[in-house]
């Protein structure tokens, strides 16, 4: 009997140790300076719960579509996905348990940057209608910028294949695509837009805001079962992430924050400092709250362009309780 009691006590102690192990949260990211990327791990002094209730394992993806595959397969716990990818998660992947949990970033908010669609100065293109018969460049069919571009061209009576052709390019090669005359219109993204050759030889024809209004570009998403199972640890996680986010966006920390970003991204601090975490950057909500009304409009635009075949009721798939609690803890 004594041996049985000792064995039971040992099992109980082992169970308590196991329960005390921090939760590993696997986060997906595309751009190091947005989302819950490796950046906060460079400032662990801001993460008061890290290593106690949770640890974070960031995983890099080339885009949000590959993230969806990993997310659906259970390889990551929190994904940073675009609005078009979110719609596909609901309609194609049948992820009825997906939940929007926080803001990623927003394009076209008052006083902040909106992505520019660029043409060459010598192209003779002065208005959208002048793109008829031209080649335009997209970073991928159905992506947020692609939808904005097609929406703008449709507003001006232009339709893909009938009135213009589309080629694809990654952001790093967009400048060359335009300047080498392989396309007449490209997406001008930071920091590539700051290249002196682009500044000298190209100009903005329209912005994503002109095309779509305010755009909820990226949201953070998790699955309901994961949220329900790990509420306490996730409460600590979101508090720490929001604290780190506010530190990086605080003007008084700008120089140090830019130095951290330069270290992680391997880009020159001088270049990053020209736009990152300023009014030349995208809008990031201080409390981590996405604009669900904008997100609904963005997904409706996908439907209007026949890129999705069903309707998505955005607010049905939102659980903002964690990020709201995090803001309350910090305020």
Tokens representing 139?
A: 């970073």
Tokens representing 70?
A: 């990993």
231 and 105 share one domain: yes
CATH code where residue 120 lies: 3.40.190.10
Residue 242 — φ and ψ, nearest 5°?
-70, -35
92 and 143 share one domain: no
pLDDT at residue number 170: 86
54/149 Cα distance (integer angstroms): 41
The whole-angstrom distance between residue 80's C-alpha and the CA centroid of its chain comes to 5
98 and 220 share one domain: yes
Once rounded to an integer, what is the mean pLDDT over residues 303-317?
89
- What share of the chain in percent tops pLDDT 90? 73
- The residue among 212, 232, 248 that closes a domain is 212
204 and 221 share one domain: no
Once rounded to an integer, what is the mean pLDDT over residues 204-220?
94
What does the buried/exposed string (b/e) look like for 101-117 if buried means 16 or more CB atoms within 10 Å of the residue's CB?
bbbbbbbbbeebbbbbb
Q: Using one digit for the tens of pLDDT, what is the confidence trace for 250-299? A: 999 999 999 999 999 888 999 899 999 998 899 999 999 999 999 999 99
pLDDT at residue number 184: 98
208 and 223 share one domain: no
pLDDT at residue number 17: 42
pLDDT at residue number 16: 45
Nearest to 171 by CA among 116, 132, 218: 116
97 and 221 share one domain: yes
Angle at the Cα of 30 from the Cα atoms of 28 and 33, rounded to 5 degrees: 105
Angle at the Cα of 51 from the Cα atoms of 48 and 54, rounded to 5 degrees: 90
Domain that holds residue 292: 2-109+215-330
73 and 121 share one domain: no
158/239 Cα distance (integer angstroms): 46
120 and 85 share one domain: no
Q: Using one digit for the tens of pLDDT, what is the confidence trace for 140-186? A: 777 788 889 999 999 999 999 999 999 999 888 999 999 999 999 99
Once rounded to an integer, what is the mean pLDDT over residues 183-194?
91
22 and 84 share one domain: yes
- Pairing type for strands 54-60 and 215-223 reads unpaired
- The residue among 185, 212, 239 that closes a domain is 212
Once rounded to an integer, what is the mean pLDDT over residues 53-58?
96
Q: Using one digit for the tens of pLDDT, what is the confidence trace for 11-21? A: 554 454 445 69
The whole-angstrom distance between residue 153's C-alpha and the CA centroid of its chain comes to 24
> What is the number of structural domains in the chain?
2
194 and 228 share one domain: no
pLDDT at residue number 66: 82
- Pairing type for strands 98-107 and 202-207 reads unpaired
Tell me: pLDDT of 83 over 60.
yes
36 and 143 share one domain: no
Tell me: pLDDT of 244 over 70.
yes
Quickly count: other Cβ atoms within 10 Å of residue 87's Cβ.
24
Write down the mean pLDDT value for the chain.
Answer: 90
- The residue among 212, 232, 267 that closes a domain is 212
Tell me: pLDDT of 102 over 50.
yes
193 and 244 share one domain: no
Of 22-36, 85-99, 276-290, least confident by mean pLDDT is 22-36
154/188 Cα distance (integer angstroms): 20
Tell me: pLDDT of 9 over 70.
no
């Amino acid at each position: 009997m004594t041996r049985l009691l000792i064995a039971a006590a040992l099992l109980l102690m082992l169970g308590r140790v196991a329960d005390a192990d921090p939760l590993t949260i696997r986060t997906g990211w595309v751009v190091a300076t947005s989302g819950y990327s490796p950046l906060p791990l460079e400032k662990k002094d801001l993460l008061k719960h890290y290593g106690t209730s949770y640890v974070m394992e960031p995983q890099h993806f080339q885009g949000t579509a590959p993230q969806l595959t990993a997310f659906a397969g259970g390889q990551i716990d929190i994904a940073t996905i675009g609005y078009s990818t979110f719609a596909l998660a609901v309609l194609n992947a049948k992820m009825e348990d997906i939940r929007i949990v926080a803001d990623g970033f927003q394009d076209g908010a008052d006083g902040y940057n909106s992505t520019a669609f660029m043409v060459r100065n010598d192209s003779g293109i002065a208005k959208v209608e002048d793109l008829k018969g031209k080649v335009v460049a997209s970073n991928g069919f159905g992506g947020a910028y692609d939808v904005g571009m097609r929406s703008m061209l449709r507003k001006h009576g232009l339709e893909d294949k009938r009135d213009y052709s589309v080629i694809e390019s990654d952001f790093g090669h967009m400048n060359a695509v335009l300047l080498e005359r392989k396309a007449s219109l490209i997406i001008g993204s930071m920091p590539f837009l700051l290249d002196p050759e682009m500044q000298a030889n190209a100009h903005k024809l329209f912005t994503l805001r002109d095309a779509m209004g305010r755009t909820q570009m990226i949201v953070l998403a998790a699955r309901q079962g994961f949220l329900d199972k790990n509420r306490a640890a996730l409460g600590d996680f979101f508090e720490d992430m929001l604290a780190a986010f506010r530190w990086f966006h605080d003007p008084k920390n700008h120089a140090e924050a830019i130095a951290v970003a330069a270290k992680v991204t391997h880009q020159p601090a001088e270049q990053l400092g020209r736009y990152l975490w300023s009014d030349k950057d995208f809008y990031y909500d201080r409390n981590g709250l996405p604009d669900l009304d904008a997100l609904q409009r963005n997904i409706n635009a996908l439907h209007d362009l026949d890129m999705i075949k069903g309707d998505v009721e955005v607010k049905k798939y939102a659980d903002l309780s964690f990020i709201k609690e995090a803001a309350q803890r910090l305020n």
